[in-house]
């Protein structure tokens, strides 16, 4: 079962092609050929049916790699965008790959708290999550551009997904030495009830699975690229298909242990921690201190916490099952609300 329920496809198609304004806000349409997403009433020329897909929220469309349409402006419901925010939205549209800071917001005359509250109230995410979605969309659009793009990797020194823009190279332009040294990770988007995830596979193993809006998403991909000396390609593979089915069963309460093979490059200590995480039974939790004790390193609680945060295969390696010694949820890269939902799911509170 995937994230949010939508009307059946025929209803969505009819509403979109008839520009039915009554469906505005109820779903959004991504256009594969242009990489944009629109509200149902968009006045632009309608694409062919095989080139569109539907999303329950604008957030889902953005993390699938689509950018907002400049004609119907799906993020700006009529009368809802205040004057103090309009200039900032225009600046983001002009440079979607930019990494925004609180200082940048203040330079545009917008207080960071005010922007956070507005985006949270209107789009269910903070301003910085919105900005990350735009950067991610820019990168995924280039990955999805498809048949001609055969190498998209993070260069050393790039700190954001805009690194994709300069890292994409054609395979024929690589030297023979580079071609032999670089491996390929296939990336695929997977919808889940807790939001879209991006999964990666290499030679029949899963090596990456993260929520698309995770704060450390960019750095995790960059670290993986460095450790595996890999390039990223869009597509799918048998093991990614299996992972999608297993995630569907997991969220439906029908699967308690994943079977997909994993590739987890890291230090010896990190791998030991990740192995310990994998042994935490479904529906149970352990503290960081428990993990450190099980490794024979009782004083290494902070190191365990760091290795836990460095896990690049969420859910399958269940770092969400590690909590504070006092029972608090503590940190989780995919956001504490997701950690809470995952634990509730595993305890039977679906």
From-to residues of CATH 3.40.10.10 in the chain: 9-133
Predicted local distance difference test score (pLDDT) of residue 137: 60
Choice between 152 and 110, residue whose per-residue pLDDT is larger: 110
Q: How far apart are CA 57 and CA 75, in angstroms?
A: 10
Choice between 216 and 249, residue whose per-residue pLDDT is larger: 249
Axis-axis angle for helices 83-94, 127-144 (nearest 10)? 30
Strand spans (E) along 10-111 = 28-31, 36-38, 52-55, 67-68
- Catalytic, 319? Answer yes
Across 26-35, average pLDDT: 85
As a dihedral over the C-alpha atoms of residue 94, residue 100, residue 103, residue 105, rounded to 10 degrees, the angle is 50
- Catalytic, 207? Answer no
Contact (CB, 8 A) for 164 and 136: no
Give pLDDT tens digits for 286-305: 999 999 999 999 999 999 99
The answer to whether domain 268-346 has CATH 1.10.10.10 is yes
User: Catalytic pick from 38, 69, 72, 207?
Assistant: 38
Choice between 203 and 165, residue whose per-residue pLDDT is larger: 203
pTM (two decimals): 0.58
The topology (CATH level 3) of 9-133 is: DNA Methylphosphotriester Repair Domain (3.40.10)
From-to residues of CATH 1.10.10.10 in the chain: 268-346
Share of the chain above pLDDT 70, in %: 80
């Amino acid at each position: 079962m995937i994230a949010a329920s939508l009307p059946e496809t025929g209803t969505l198609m009819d509403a979109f092609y008839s520009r039915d304004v009554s469906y505005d806000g109820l779903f959004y349409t991504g256009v594969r050929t242009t990489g944009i997403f629109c509200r149902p009433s968009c006045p632009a020329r309608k694409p062919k049916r095989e080139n569109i897909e539907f999303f329950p929220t604008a957030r889902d469309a953005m993390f699938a790699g689509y950018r907002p349409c400049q004609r119907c402006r799906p993020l700006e419901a009529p009368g809802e965008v205040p004057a103090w925010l309009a200039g900032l939205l225009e600046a983001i549209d002009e440079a979607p790959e930019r990494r925004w800071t609180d200082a940048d917001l203040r330079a545009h005359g917008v207080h960071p708290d005010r922007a956070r509250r507005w985006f949270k109230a209107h789009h269910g995410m903070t301003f910085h999550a919105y900005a990350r979605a735009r950067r991610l969309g820019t990168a995924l659009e280039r990955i999805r551009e498809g048949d001609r793009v055969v190498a998209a990797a993070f260069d050393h020194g790039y700190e954001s997904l805009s690194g994709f823009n300069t890292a994409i190279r054609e395979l024929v332009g690589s030297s023979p030495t580079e071609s032999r040294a670089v491996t390929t990770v296939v990336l695929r988007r997977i919808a889940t009830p807790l939001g879209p995830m991006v999964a990666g596979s290499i030679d029949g193993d899963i090596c990456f699975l993260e929520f698309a809006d995770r704060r450390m998403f960019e750095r995790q991909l960059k670290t993986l690229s460095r450790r595996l000396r890999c390039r990223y390609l869009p597509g799918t593979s048998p093991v990614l298909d299996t992972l999608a089915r297993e995630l569907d069963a997991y969220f439906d309460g029908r699967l308690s242990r994943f079977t997909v093979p994993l590739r987890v490059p890291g230090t010896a200590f990190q791998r030991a921690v990740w192995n310990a995480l994998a042994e935490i039974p479904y529906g149970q939790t352990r503290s960081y201190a428990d993990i450190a004790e099980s490794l024979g390193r009782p004083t290494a609680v902070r190191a365990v916490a760091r290795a836990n945060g460095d896990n690049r295969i969420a859910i399958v390696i269940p770092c969400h099952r590690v909590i504070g010694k006092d029972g608090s949820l503590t940190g989780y890269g995919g956001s504490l609300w997701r950690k809470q939902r995952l634990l509730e799911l595993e305890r039977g509170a679906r």
